[in-house]
A and B are shown apart, each in its own frame.
Chain A
């Protein structure tokens, strides 16, 4: 019986151990550095926001004088909900349709341009989107500031996110399923509608939710389209609208403690909203993906 020693820490393996230890330390440090800002944002928003958060905050609009204490951001919540609703109605069907086009008709000559412009759209600064909608809808179409232009601006920002995430999800649907459906005598649109989209449904919902969460936090595209208002507005056009991020921006810039406190509470409300949407997306996406 001869052979090399199996004893631990023999020979130059000690050097490997040291290297391993150092690298672990470096990686751990990198993780901590990445988590610190995230965690501190959470802590700061929660500690500052909770102080001003109340039932009153959630259910009333702000006082007309920024100096005055009390009141809340109900108008912002309603505005955010309405504009997100419009943005979902536009971006989701359009985005999923585009993704279906990209995955199910890859041989089409428009596929490359569509994918290219989707990528370009992802990188467009959001203030440009606001400017574009301002020029096109607020000025040119004569709609003025309001809910509808704000919703359209958000939809333009959400669209590429929906397209890209839906494309990834649709691509995950096994080719076997498409073959099975085709061999049953399904036409391509029938395969897409009755097999591919149902199989991808939960993943599609997740992608949509992430786009919605992104849209909920956007401020810049709303400045020139919704414009902002201290009132509760339910009209689609004709009156300026506001949203939670706009109100936070406004309140945080003012020197008055009452306005700043409301901005903190608004930040907490917005963060909670996005968290709820994200968790909802996880929950829906986690269910019955085509596994067992």
Chain B
């Protein structure tokens, strides 16, 4: 663990009584017991994101809880993807992008100057809108991350495990050496999920993972998400309100202000947000009157 702990994390660190285990990147507080509030994986406090002079997201504060599926919904251009990409510092790649405020991951500010963005991304995996497997074999796609990290051990077993968890093993077990681009779109996306899982991340960020897929493949991805949340925390951006309603535990609704900057309207357990929204804006959006 080379992440530098921020000042706020002193307390959390003292209750980490588990010995450090190199193979397990999940640390922090134990799993929540029934009836107890799950602990926060991400805590965003007054986060604003700028692209050059343009403010894309302003003063966003929200909490993402462990082993939950958190959905970010909202109209096009409201900054959902920007928020998602600031959780694993993918915005660093965009020239002129700047994140203000605090993004705490397990109590550590991931934008602190001594934090290694690469290390952050190894803990926080990402699945993109368009399936983007590498033009390599299925096996090499899944083995990519472990190899980067200098994995020594049973790589075959690891690849199989990741493919099983991504519900792809039965489809591909006889053609692991085939080019990943020969798979169908839905299979490619599940391969991308397997690829992300193979590095044992803590969190998986999904940026409209099913928007390029047909309805059946979409349902399989949603089913897969529900299985994955046993072990991972998932944050998903989606355009599709039914998807958010079906697949997520908590939903954050973002919209765009007059200054075109996205902001958080409300965040609530999914069922509550879709049945008893607190804000008129949310109600207008989920009933289709706006967006």
Whole-angstrom distance between the Cβ of A188 and the nearest chain B Cβ: 9
Q: How far is the CA of A57 from the CA of B119 in the complex (A)?
A: 63
Inter-chain contacts of A292 with B (CB < 8 A):
179, 181-182
* Contact yes or no, A183 B148, CB < 8 A: no
**Provided the pairs A179-B93, A180-B128, A199-B134 are in contact, do residues A291 and B144 lie with their beta carbons within 8 angstroms?**
no
* Contact yes or no, B148 A184, CB < 8 A: yes
B196 close to chain A: CB less than 8 A:
yes
Inter-chain contacts of B132 with A (CB < 8 A):
174, 176-177, 179-180
* Contact yes or no, A183 B118, CB < 8 A: no
Whole-angstrom distance between the Cβ of A19 and the nearest chain B Cβ: 45
B149 close to chain A: CB less than 8 A:
yes
Inter-chain contacts of A190 with B (CB < 8 A):
148
Q: How far is the CA of A132 from the CA of B90 in the complex (A)?
A: 47
Inter-chain contacts of B93 with A (CB < 8 A):
179, 182
- Chain B residues numbered 81-133 whose CB sits less than 8 Å from any CB in chain A: 88, 90, 93, 95, 118-119, 121-122, 125-126, 128, 130, 132-133
Of the candidates A182, A184, A187, A199, which one forms a contact with B135 in the assembled complex, judged by CB atoms under 8 Å apart?
Answer: A199
Whole-angstrom distance between the Cβ of B27 and the nearest chain A Cβ: 17
B277 close to chain A: CB less than 8 A:
no
* Contact yes or no, A176 B128, CB < 8 A: yes
Inter-chain contacts of A176 with B (CB < 8 A):
128, 130, 132
* Contact yes or no, A185 B135, CB < 8 A: no
* Contact yes or no, A194 B148, CB < 8 A: yes
A59 close to chain B: CB less than 8 A:
no
A54 close to chain B: CB less than 8 A:
no
Interface size bracket, A side: 20 to 34
Inter-chain contacts of B164 with A (CB < 8 A):
none
B195 close to chain A: CB less than 8 A:
yes
B254 close to chain A: CB less than 8 A:
no
Inter-chain contacts of B195 with A (CB < 8 A):
180, 184
B221 close to chain A: CB less than 8 A:
no
* Contact yes or no, B121 A180, CB < 8 A: no
* Contact yes or no, A181 B134, CB < 8 A: yes
Q: How far is the CA of A194 from the CA of B141 in the complex (A)?
A: 11
Q: How far is the CA of A223 from the CA of B24 in the complex (A)?
A: 66
Of the candidates B145, B179, B182, which one forms a contact with A185 in the assembled complex, judged by CB atoms under 8 Å apart?
Answer: B145
30 contacting pairs across A/B (C-beta < 8 A) = A176-B128, A176-B130, A176-B132, A177-B135, A180-B132, A180-B134, A180-B192, A180-B195, A181-B134, A181-B144, A183-B126, A183-B128, A183-B196, A184-B121, A184-B145, A184-B148, A184-B196, A184-B199, A185-B118, A185-B145, A186-B118, A186-B148, A190-B148, A195-B134, A199-B135, A288-B135, A290-B181, A291-B181, A292-B181, A292-B182
